[in-house]
Amino acid sequence: MLMIIIAIAMAGTLGSLTDWLFMGLLFHSAYNRHPEIWRPGIRDGADKVAIIWSSVLGYAISAAVVALCAIARVHGVLGGLEVGVLVWIAGPAVVLIVNGMFIKLDPKITFAHGLGYGARILMAGLAAGLALSLKT
């Protein structure tokens, strides 16, 4: 159980760094292409509540992937990565692509967020696969 908790903590923390890299730094100028879509506090950098909640939810995503790997009886890194890819395709990838078709966002933002969620979920699958392989 300790290894699973460590996997969640590591994946959640590293995932926060990928959020910063892919969803904050990469293509940063593209966020201002359509400034009217952002809430005023977010756009101005004054509202930190959304950032805090996105970090908390990021840990929840990591925990869910680790739990799914445990339920699926993954016993290695490759299995964890396979679960991660399937989770990414079933969730964030589809939602981001569909939202990109209907919401006025720069395509670079959709691409960057897809990479960011993919990296987060793959790290969670990798951590879970490693933790579960050490457990057995």
- Hey, where are the domains in the chain? 2-135
What share of the chain has pLDDT > 70, as a percent? 96
pLDDT per residue as tens digits for the range 16-43: 888 778 777 777 777 778 777 777 777 6
Q: Is the pLDDT of residue 4 over 80?
A: yes
Contact 61, 15 (CB under 8 A): yes
